[in-house]
Structures are given as C-alpha cells and as structure tokens.
Amino acid sequence: MKRMLIAALALGALAVAGCGSSSSSSTSSGGTAQVASSGSKSGKCVAAIAIEGPFTGPVAQVGLEQLHFAQLAVATDNTVNGTDVTLDQDDTTLTPSTAVAKSQAIIASSAVAVVGPAGSQEVEAVGPLFGKAGIAFVTGSATLPALTASGKNPTFFRVVPDDDVQGPQDANYIINHLHTKSVLIIDDDEAYSQGLVNVMIPILKKAGITVNHQTINGNDTGATLAAALKSLVTSQLTPADAVTVLPWQAAANAQQFGLDAKQQGKKTIIFGTDGINSPSQFNIAGSYVSAFGPDISSSNRALDKAIVAGVAKYGPYGSFGLPTYEAADVVMRAISSVCKSGQTPSRSNVLAAVKATHMAAAANPLGIPVAFAAGGNLAGDYGYLFHVDSAGKYVEIAPK
C-alpha cells in the first residue's frame, strides 16, 4: 500500500474533476442492501465514499478547505491506483444534530467509508451510529482523547495527534518559552475546547502559573458574540495575563478577541490551538498557533509541490486541510488494496484495510509515518506550532 507520488503523476490526476459530487449523500435512499453495490465497472475498482464537514456556517472556510483537499486526494488516487471512487459531500455546519442526520443518510447509502466529521462534538454524536453500521470513518481534525478511549467509536480513526499530545505540548511551550506567571484561558463550551482546557490547566498550575478559566457560548453569533468577546477583554484580561489561550474552532472569533484587546490598549500573547489555525482569518502579530499538520506551501518535495499546485484547482491552499487530504488518502488506499486482493469493496473489508494502514513518512504530505494504534489513534507523538510574525505571516517553529 506504500507508494511515492511524483509531481507529474499527481498533477495529471486533476483531470478527474468529477470525483467530488456537488450533491449531498443525504439525498441517498435505500437500505443496507445498497452497501454491496460497489464493485467493478469497465475493469475498474468502483466504490462510493462520503465526506462530512462544515461547508457552510461560521467555520465554512475551514470546512471548504478540508473538502478541497479531500477532492484532490480522491482525484489523485483514482488516477494513480486505477480506481473509480466517488465522493459525496455532507454539510454538517459543525452541528452534532445535523451530523447525525447526515450520517444516518450515509449509512443508508452505498458508501463504504467516510472522511470526517471535522469536530469532536460531531464524532461523539455519530460514532456509535457508524460503529453499529461497521463503516470506517477517518478524520483529519477531531482531537478529543475520549473519542478513542471511550470504546464508543470502534470504527473511528484519526490522522492527527489527540489533545493528550497537543495540550501538554502547548502548555509546556508556554511554560518553557513564554515564562508567564498568569494565563487567561477561555473555552467555547464545546467538546474540543473543553478537552484541551482539561489537559492544559493542570500542567500550567503545576508549573506555578495562575490560571483564570472562563467560558463563552461557542454557538453565539453576531452582536451577542461581539458583546461577549468585548466583555471578556474588559472584565477578565488583566495586565498580569501575559498569555491568553484560546482553544476555539472559529478563527474569526479569536481575531476579534485580539482586535478588541488592542482597541482597549491591553497587551497579551494569544496562544491558539489548531482550531484557529487559519492565516486569512487569524493573524494577530506575536501570537502562537498549534496545527494539525505542517505548512508545505514552500516545500521542495515533489509530492508536496504536486499537492499545493493541485489543490489550487479546487480552492485556496491551507495547512488545516492537509490532514484531511491524508484522511481521504487512507480511505482511498484501503479501497485500492481491497480491489487488488481480488475482493469487492465493502464496509467490512475496507474497515479492515484502514486498520492495517502503514504508510512511510516519505509517502504522505504530513511527513510522518501513518499507522493506527488501538482505538484508532495515530500511532506516534507528533505536533506542529506556528508563530505569527509582525506581517501576520505564519512561521513554523519547533513545538517543544
């Protein structure tokens, strides 16, 4: 299942532009009998998969970035592996109830695997459904440790480190490099945010740092949200809080918090987790931002250059979407391996192939070995960190 993708081959794959269906799989009908509809057509390995992500709503920019990278992975792998895999799109708006409805439609369709969902709160809601249906789902962004530890999501996999990697890494960077005595940390009352807060606070306190923990409603929008952010800056951000940790999923909210602080003449270093890693939406100079994956926009590797050039056909490049490319790639390779073994892709054999994933660092854009530990976690301890320079540009730095 390992292969090195060269630039010319990957770019040639972009001709397969129709692999990302513009229609949602939520319109599919039928029952489990459809699951076995994948097979061979004109000598090709045929299958259907779906992607769940927030393609509209407050974090649509991130969701569309994930979609575009998944579309590229499907198109590329279809050409490289000689497969005929279609990708249905299911917009969840990062809302668990919507994700449940979309997942139920996917389960009733012919899809043999799923890319996503994006958010931890969504995986909490749909994981047992996918588990009961025996369908593999691979995310490039849901990081809550309980998703793999609880046993409730037996068919769940992620190609990114969980919060038990990111949380300590970020907290220790603050301790060892920013040398603050006080931290303001604000969660947005969602599973992703609370998971990181629960990991980081004990580490910060153990180092003797005073922690002021506050909460906002992550579902607030418009004037209500603007008032809440301004109130936090006014009432909670003090001169002692040299660092403010924002483990949020909406980068634009972090940007507004930073602008409000500047307007009120308050200085703090914003430390955002991977959920706000979006250079076009969050670019407060002097800030730090964790990341799911590396920035390959200027990489000289043939594979990386092909991906950067290729995704431009679908939408703008962004490092947030890169792990979703790899999540889709894992699914596509699994389907290809099933066909090469002489079987027709089904949920059960694709699930088994995903579990058996072993990909060398040189064979994927994350630049790390991709394999799965028990429970679906990425095997290995990896993380990324960026510093926002005076021009608002993200500069990758050592995370430890």
pLDDT for residue 203: 98
Whether 22 has a pLDDT exceeding 90, the answer reads no
Mark whether 19 and 132 lie in a shared domain: yes
Is residue 147 located within the same domain as residue 183? no
Q: Is 1 contained in some domain?
A: no
Instruction: Let me know: does 103 contact 136? Beta carbons within 8 Å.
Output: no
- 309 and 257 co-located in one domain: no
Q: Do 247 and 334 fall within a single domain?
A: no
In a domain, 20, yes or no: yes
Q: Give percent of the chain above pLDDT 70.
A: 89
**pLDDT of residue 248 exceeding 90:** yes
**Token digits for 9?**
């081959």
The answer on 208 and 74 residing in a single domain is no
- The answer to whether residue 203 is domain-embedded is yes
Q: Tell whether 2 is covered by a domain.
A: no
* In a shared domain, residues 199 and 276: yes
Of 208-217, 290-299, 326-335, least confident by mean pLDDT is: 290-299
Whether residues 183 and 244 fall in one domain:
yes
Cα 299 to the center of its chain, rounded Å = 21
Q: Is residue 378 part of a domain?
A: no
Domain match, 151 and 170 both: no
**Same-domain status, 330 and 309:** yes
Whether residue 224 is contained in a domain is answered as: yes
Statement to judge: residues 141 and 14 lie in one domain: yes
Report in angstroms the alpha-carbon separations of 177 from 23, 149, 180, 399: 48, 31, 9, 10
- Determine the pLDDT at residue 39: 56
Range with lowest mean pLDDT among 27-41, 97-111, 118-132, 165-179:
27-41
Same domain, 204 and 92: no
pLDDT tens per residue, range 285-321: 999 999 878 889 889 999 999 999 999 999 998 878 9
Report the pLDDT value the prediction gives residue 33, as an integer from 0 to 100.
Answer: 30
Q: How many structural domains comprise the chain?
A: 2
125-155 exposure pattern, b = at least 16 Cβ within 10 A, e = fewer: bbbebbbebbbbbbbbbbbbbbbbeeeebbb
For the stretch 263-275, pLDDT in tens is 999 999 999 998 8
46-59 pLDDT per residue, tens: 999 999 999 999 88
Are 43 and 181 within one domain?
A: no
The answer to whether residue 140 is domain-embedded is yes
Query: Which range marks the domain in which residue 285 is found?
Result: 163-291+385-397
Alpha carbons 66 and 50: distance in angstroms, whole number: 13
The CATH number of the domain holding residue 224 is: 3.40.50.2300
Is residue 51 assigned to a domain? yes
